[in-house]
Amino acid sequence: MTTLHIEHPITDYEQWRAAFDRAAPLRADGGVIAHRVSQPIGDDRYIVVQLDFEDAARASTFLDLLRTRIWTDPARAPGLAGSPRTVILLPAEQAAA
């Protein structure tokens, strides 16, 4: 499993969340198999999103889509403030079953 980790400032959580929810079909088509949305304690103007994929190639392709088609269009990314910080993560160790 590969995780696309995204962090970015936001202007309004409800507005951001509505856009995130509308993008569910895009995530499904892009190979996202699970996601988590978190916020730092005491900072309601910052969001952390983790999107899980089967492999790094799908994560990289989806990140490219976000950078070129979503985050560049304010209508598709309402509530986004500033530039997202991203990293694609692979497990360093697998837990024993």
All structural domains of the chain with their residue ranges: 2-89
Q: Classify the phi-psi angles of 79: left when phi > 0, otherwise alpha if psi is within -120 to 50, otherwise beta.
A: left
pLDDT tier, 95 (very low <50, low <70, confident <90, very high otherwise):
low
- CATH architecture type of domain 2-89: 2-Layer Sandwich (3.30)
Reply yes or no on whether the pLDDT at 83 is more than 60.
yes
Contacts of 24 (CB under 8 A, 6+ apart): none
Structure tokens at 23: 């993008």
CA distance 48 to 15: 15
User: Per residue in 1-39, pLDDT tens?
Assistant: 999 999 999 999 999 999 999 999 999 999 999 999 999
pLDDT at res. 94: 65
Reply yes or no on whether the pLDDT at 80 is more than 70.
yes
Average pLDDT over residues 76-85: 89
User: Per residue in 37-75, pLDDT tens?
Assistant: 999 999 999 999 999 999 999 999 999 999 999 999 888
CA distance 67 to 71: 5
pLDDT at res. 97: 52
